[in-house]
Amino acid sequence: MRPFRYHRPTEVAEAVALLDAEPDAAYLAGGTNLVDLMKLGVQRPSLLVDVTRLPLDTVQTLPDGGIRIGANVRNSDLAAHPVVRRDYPVLARALLAAASGQLRNMATTGGNLLQRTRCAYFQDTSKACNKREPGTGCAARHGQNRDLAVLGWSEHCVATHPSDMAVALVALDAEVELHAPDGPRQIPLTELHREPGDRPEQETTLPRGALITAVRLPPSPVARRSSYHKARDRASFAFAAGSVAAALDLAGDVVRDVRLAYGAVAHRPWRAHRAEQTLRGRPFTPELAAHAADTELAAARPLEHNAFKVPLIRNLTVRALTELAGRP
């Protein structure tokens, strides 16, 4: 591991200035991903700016009925928060499905959003990887790509985003507060993560040095009837083979409102707008749910080893929505 220096600021502006001043600096929060990557030699920061002492560790209810989640709120605390469990159950379920209790106790909201792909070639410094070393190629494109993308990929990178939490937050229309060197701002979470295109090393739209400070969730009546369905290769904790975040509001049997997002299928959490449009205003049936998923997945381009993800996501969509439709 490359030797590094370490700072632990207590103010956001100080943290941002430290990072902005050093090209190879990195923020450290829970460390559940970064420390592993440093041990593997994938990330080699010269300076770690530990953000865990910044005052970003509370969940606030907002006057409009939404909530503001500080970037340092631990995944375990967020999953157990009574307002999250009552008003945004899809978020609590995604967090609980994501990792063991030990990891949830360390992982933070901001760090979870910025975790790196678990593509095995990215983590192996002996393999070609455009994300780790731009211009070297993509060993996964024609390698073992079972776990990788079916939507939105490019010839330069077929990686997936690994977060469960981010899939739920995308379905909930979350906004991200960030503090950049030129000041604070707020962006929709759907605009945070990028598709790989020809620059897979650029995973987000965050300006250099920017720190995520909070995530805002708007009030969302539809979210009260919401759920997260995750398929994985083993019963104990594992990254998703595919996942669906769903929320459904029915007027009688007609779909009044719906939210759908897919995980483990693309370089970013995938909001399924086409599927939502197909469902809105129509009487709900499992057949309609399957048709809606098909409209979204028509854009899928499976790789050699992951064609199973298309029917998997379709089936998870039907199961999630049918279960929600049956709830009182």
Binding flag, residue 138, ligand SF4 (CB under 6 A): yes
What x/- string results for residues 59 through 78 when contact with ligand SF4 is judged by CB under 6 A?
--------------------
CB nearer ligand SF4, residue 148 or residue 320: 148
CA angle, 85 then 248 then 234, to 5°: 65
**# of chain residues touching ligand SF4 (CB under 6 A):** 15
What x/- string results for residues 96 through 125 when contact with ligand SF4 is judged by CB under 6 A?
---------------------x-x-xx---
**Residue 271 φ/ψ, nearest 5 degrees:** -75, 130
Q: Is 50 exposed, middle or buried (0-12, 13-18, 19+ CB in 10 A)?
A: middle
Q: Is 119 exposed, middle or buried (0-12, 13-18, 19+ CB in 10 A)?
A: buried
CB nearer ligand SF4, residue 184 or residue 197: 197
Q: Residues 130, 190, 213, 317: which binds ligand SF4 (CB under 6 A)?
A: 130
CB nearer ligand SF4, residue 115 or residue 278: 115
Q: Residues 97, 113, 150, 157: which binds ligand SF4 (CB under 6 A)?
A: 157
Judge whether 237 and 164 are in contact, CB under 8 Å: no
CB nearer ligand SF4, residue 11 or residue 155: 155
Please report which helix (H) or strand (E) contains residue 318, including its range: helix 309-325
CA pair distance 92, 76, nearest whole angstrom: 9
Using CB under 6 A, which of the segments 41-49, 152-160, 175-183, 206-214 binds ligand SF4? Answer: 152-160
Binding flag, residue 303, ligand SF4 (CB under 6 A): no
Judge whether 186 and 175 are in contact, CB under 8 Å: yes
Dihedral sign, Cα of residue 12, residue 18, residue 23, residue 26: negative
Q: What residue ranges bind ligand SF4 (CB under 6 A)? A: 117, 119, 121-122, 129-131, 138-140, 148, 157-159, 200
